[in-house]
Chains A and B, each alone.
Chain A
């Protein structure tokens, strides 16, 4: 597609459940980023992929969060044993060697 695509757009789940959020970057973009934006805050960095490997995962809050990008394109952010504090908008961005980040419209996660 023309832009970064994220699915689902909205996800409501119950505390303790497992959630997967998908990001389809712009074709040819080698770098992919996940950010988390809580209500009333700016986005916070979670993880950065260069190709298939996680080059920097220093922003993942704990071991319940994990992300993969097995073929260097689509990425999935996985959250285990969700907690109410995980409720946020999860933004994905991709970039080419020019460096400009292009963002998707995010996935809003609500944990009840």
Chain B
């Protein structure tokens, strides 16, 4: 079974600063996807960024980038130029890519607060 661990329950950062959210996972699969989701108070999970495990290049989406270390099973999210709207819960998630059920395995989440 796959597990996803987010060891930091909460972080705060000043607006415009850079923050890194950590995530580790455990799996015996060789092909999989990793995700970061954002959950604001509206409860809707919003995809921030996605990484295919077979790709060595780290994914980037505007101010969001990841540091994917496959051997270490580490998948951290870096948010640059933090904005007040980035305040939310952030969840790291894993999905097998074996063509079967595409279910996500989530970590416990981390509460990020961006202060003005």
Contact = CB atoms under 8 A, between A and B. Distances in A.
A100 B47 contact: yes
Interface stretch (A18-26, A37-45, A65-73): A37-45
A33 B93 CA distance: 15
Contacts of B44: 103-106
A56 interface: yes
A12 interface: no
B52 to A, nearest CB: 11
Given A43-B45, A100-B47, A105-B44, A48 B101 contact: yes
Nearest to A93: B45
A103 B44 CA distance: 6
Contacts of A100: 47, 50
A33 B103 contact: yes
A91 B45 CA distance: 9
A103 B23 CA distance: 22
Query: What is the interface residue range for chain A against chain B?
Result: 20 to 34
Interface stretch (B11-19, B54-62, B75-83, B106-114): B106-114
A44 B104 CA distance: 8
B85 interface: no
Interface of A: 31, 33, 35, 40-45, 48, 55-56, 58-59, 89, 91, 93, 95, 99-101, 103-106, 108
17 contacts: A42-B106, A42-B107, A43-B45, A45-B103, A45-B105, A48-B103, A56-B101, A56-B103, A58-B101, A91-B43, A91-B45, A93-B45, A103-B44, A103-B45, A103-B46, A105-B43, A106-B44
